[in-house]
Structure formats: structure tokens, C-alpha cells
Amino acid sequence: MLRYIHKLQTKDLSLVNAMIPLGSCTMKLNATAEMVPVTWNEFGGLHPFAPREQAEGYQTLFSQLETWLAEITGYSGISLQPNAGSQGEYAGLLVVRKYHQSRGESHRDVCLIPTSAHGTNPASAVMAGMQVVVVACDTDGNIDLEDLQLKADKHRENLAAAMITYPSTHGVFEEKIREICDIVHQSGGQVYMDGANLNALVGIGQPADIGADVCHLNLHKTFCIPHGGGGPGMGPIGVKAHLRDFLPTHPLVTVGAAPWGSSGILPISWAYIAMMGTQGLTAATEVAILNANYIAKRLAPHYPVLYTGKNGLVAHECIIDLRAFKKSADIDVTDVAKRLMDYGFHAPTVSWPVPGTMMIEPTESESRAELERFCDALISIREEITEIEAGIADQVDNVLKNAPHTVEMVTQSEWDHSYSRERAVFPKPWVREAKFWPAVARINEVYGDRNLMCTCPPVSEY
């Protein structure tokens, strides 16, 4: 069994192999010391509904964590109930609804959401019974203030909330954030801040101070809970004082089956904050921003960086634009993502929030050497694209189109590609040192996701 499980594990590229620069996902290399307590029976062996007097240690952990998260965000109330960022959004919007109801304004049900928002935002708004009104972004990727004002005025009577991501999903600190919040407030709405990008904020800015009334935090992003493969998450919400009475601890507002969400993984975030301390958390944010800007600057001569703030800087992630290669070399973002596997890297976030681009988030975990390796890989891939553009490499049979290359492919006796096996799988000398072999080559990309097939027998056969 151990060998079987290990065999499966070796097919998976994880943070023990290389950085996973998935933009907006904040994939940090979490410390083993943070993880160990999860295995302790005192934490892992307790039932979520064990009598309170048998779970006093957990109560201490909850209240300390709530206090710390309140300090970090500037909020006066925290709920640890939501199990994910998306559930935090849902919970936060229900809080907003209850607030409006309490003021005799239950008709307020319009939710303004910018086009750049994460897909969970409109989904949560709809689940919370709201109507989504989309707000445009300008060419710099910021929320279009004119359009926001227009929509806020138009829905003045029914405005419930606006959902704003800060820093934005375009990886930029939106300078007009306070004005944005003011516009929403002046029209009677509450501001929900999507706090998934808090890794760019902890210790240097507070959602409450920016003007947001309610916000979720992804403990499985910013606060180190590992989340590859969709494992359990935690999306607690924080609220300003006027919303405290409507938090999910209230019997009328419940969003999770257990009162403190996925409490078994909270020791990870607790340990992270405890070990980092105030200075450490601030330093982590600073290094996360520095790392992203380093990558943006190193890649800029090779790939256009799509959005930056007015000083030419990004926040904790950056978007590189690959759309021009479609025309010049018939190469798209997927080809580059697949080719990165040959270099031993997990691709960044692909085609989100802008189709045809890559969003790169290095986090503070990565060393200078790893950042260099990653940039070297992307720059080398750019050179491979140049060869196609120049007609040196074949338009159809090239290292990008055939990537990733598996052991199976390169160990065949026959090799009829226009480039060498060595180039295919060892494009840089350092790849040899710890080659990660992709288990399979391309199959059918999104075909399987879009064409659902049921493999169970028809009901009549049961």
C-alpha cells in the first residue's frame, strides 16, 4: 500500500519539487512545523460536535486565531465558520442581506461586480439571492469609476453590495480603492472585499481601513494551509462593528455544517502566525511583492507584462501576455504551459482573468535561485518561439507543440522529430539534476471537462 501510494505521489509535481506559481492561488511552501500538529490526536481525533468542556484547547486556539485575524484585517468580528473563500463570500453577502433587512431595507438585492472578478463572486451573489450587475474595467485593468458611478446611481434604491478584490485580480493595487468604496456607500450599499489576495496586504494594509465592510480571508492561501488538489480549506470572514450581530454564529445565518468550519486544519494557520509574528508577517508580504516585481522586470523584455500600477509596479503577482504568439508562431498559452513541464515547472494560472495570458504568483516562499530558474525557463521558451517565428523550427513539429515529452516518447527506438531528444527533455543543464518526468503527454485538454460521460450502468440495471 505504501509503495502504491508513493507511486501515485511521484506522478504529482508538488512544492517539494519546484515552485507552483499559480496566480491568485498563493501556493506557498508551508513549513513542516506548521503541519505536524494536524497529526496529533489532540487536534485530529476530536469530533466537531464534542461537548465544549472537552474541547477547551480548541476554544483557546479559535479565540487566539480570531484575535490575530482581527488585528491583521482591522475588523471587530470574525467568523471561522466558512470552509472556503467562496463560502466566505456567500456568508459575507448573507451578513449584508441581514443587515439591510434589519434596517427595513430587505428590497436591496443588487450586487455590483467588476468584470475582472473571480468566478466565485457572481456565483456567491446569486446563491445569496442577489442580482448581479457587471461593472466594466478600463484599459489599465482597473475598475472603471465612471461605469461604477453610473451603475451605483442607476440602482441606488436597490443596491445591496459591491464585491471588490484588492489588490485586484489583475495583480495591481487599485489606487482608487477608497473612492470605489465611497461610491458604493453613498448609494446605500455595503462593500464586500474579496480577500484572496491578502498575501499582498498582511502587515502593510487593512481591509477595514481601505473601506470594506466585510471581507473573507483564504487561510489556505495567505495563511499556509496547503491546498493543491482541492483539500479542505478555510475562508473565515471579518466584519466591521455594525455587521457583527449578523455573523454566521447567529442561529439564523449558518453556512457550514460545523460551527468552526474545518477546524482540524486551523492549527496550521495558528502555527504560521505564531511563528512568524508581526514582523515576520509583514516581511513575508514585502518579499511576496518584491518577488513578483522581480519576475515582472526580468520577463518584461521577453513577454509584455499586461497590467502595472502608475509606477510600473505590480502587487504580488503579474500577468504576462502571450496572445501575440498565436499569429507569429501559432503558439498559444497552453503550448507554453505544457512546455514548462519539460523544464520541471508547474504552469502558472493560464487564461485567467485574461484569456491567452499567464498569471504568475511566486509568493515569499521562493528563493532568488528558484526565481531565476523559473525566469530562465520562460526566457528559454521565448527563444524557442523565436525559432518558430524565424522559420528555424517547424511550425507544427516543434518542442512546444509536442510538449510535454514523456519517458515513453523519448525512449522509442525511432525518433522522427525535427529536434533532438536532448532538447526535448533537457532544455537546460539544471534540468538534468532533478528531472521531473510528466507521467502523460497531452490527451485532449478541456475536451473531457466539456463532454461529460457517465460510466455507471443505466438505472434500469440496478
Q: Which positions touch ligand PLP (CB under 6 A)?
A: 24, 84-86, 118, 120, 165, 169, 194, 196, 218, 233, 235
Nearer to ligand PLP, 116 or 187 (CB): 116
Nearest-CB residue to ligand PLP? 85
Nearer to ligand PLP, 235 or 362 (CB): 235
Q: Is 299 exposed, middle or buried (0-12, 13-18, 19+ CB in 10 A)?
A: buried
Shortest distance, position 83 Cβ to ligand PLP, whole Å: 8
Shortest distance, position 329 Cβ to ligand PLP, whole Å: 31
Classify the phi-psi angles of 188: left when phi > 0, otherwise alpha if psi is within -120 to 50, otherwise beta.
Answer: left
Nearer to ligand PLP, 220 or 338 (CB): 220
Non-local (6+) Cβ contacts of 159 within 8 A are: 108, 110, 112, 152, 184, 187, 188, 189
| Residues forming a β-bridge with 114 | 135
Q: Where are the beta strands (DSSP E) in 97-226?
A: 110-114, 131-135, 159-165, 190-195, 214-217
Nearer to ligand PLP, 79 or 169 (CB): 169
How many whole angstroms separate alpha carbon 24 and alpha carbon 435? 27
Shortest distance, position 230 Cβ to ligand PLP, whole Å: 8
User: Nearest to residue 365, comparing CAs of 39, 9, 8, 30?
Assistant: 30
Shortest distance, position 192 Cβ to ligand PLP, whole Å: 11
Nearer to ligand PLP, 151 or 227 (CB): 227
How many whole angstroms separate alpha carbon 436 and alpha carbon 343? 8
Nearer to ligand PLP, 37 or 233 (CB): 233
Shortest distance, position 410 Cβ to ligand PLP, whole Å: 36
Residue 262, phi then psi, degrees to nearest 5: -85, 70
**CA triple 171-173-179, angle to 5 deg:** 135
Parallel, antiparallel, or unpaired for β 214-217 and 237-239?
antiparallel
Shortest distance, position 301 Cβ to ligand PLP, whole Å: 28
Non-local (6+) Cβ contacts of 79 within 8 A are: 91, 236, 237, 239, 247, 248, 249
Nearer to ligand PLP, 158 or 291 (CB): 291
Nearer to ligand PLP, 120 or 269 (CB): 120
Shortest distance, position 136 Cβ to ligand PLP, whole Å: 18
How many whole angstroms separate alpha carbon 438 and alpha carbon 388? 24
Parallel, antiparallel, or unpaired for β 237-239 and 77-79?
antiparallel
- Contact (CB, 8 A) for 360 and 283: no
Nearer to ligand PLP, 81 or 165 (CB): 165
Nearer to ligand PLP, 346 or 405 (CB): 346
How many whole angstroms separate alpha carbon 95 and alpha carbon 78? 12
Parallel, antiparallel, or unpaired for β 214-217 and 131-135?
unpaired
Q: Where are the alpha helices (DSSP H) in 266-347?
A: 266-299, 324-329, 333-342
Shortest distance, position 125 Cβ to ligand PLP, whole Å: 12
Nearer to ligand PLP, 169 or 262 (CB): 169
Shortest distance, position 215 Cβ to ligand PLP, whole Å: 11
How many whole angstroms separate alpha carbon 248 and alpha carbon 210? 23
Shortest distance, position 89 Cβ to ligand PLP, whole Å: 7
Shortest distance, position 143 Cβ to ligand PLP, whole Å: 14
How many whole angstroms separate alpha carbon 192 and alpha carbon 212? 6
Nearer to ligand PLP, 21 or 427 (CB): 21
Classify the phi-psi angles of 230: left when phi > 0, otherwise alpha if psi is within -120 to 50, otherwise beta.
Answer: left
How many whole angstroms separate alpha carbon 341 and alpha carbon 362? 17
- Contact (CB, 8 A) for 364 and 201: no
Shortest distance, position 123 Cβ to ligand PLP, whole Å: 10
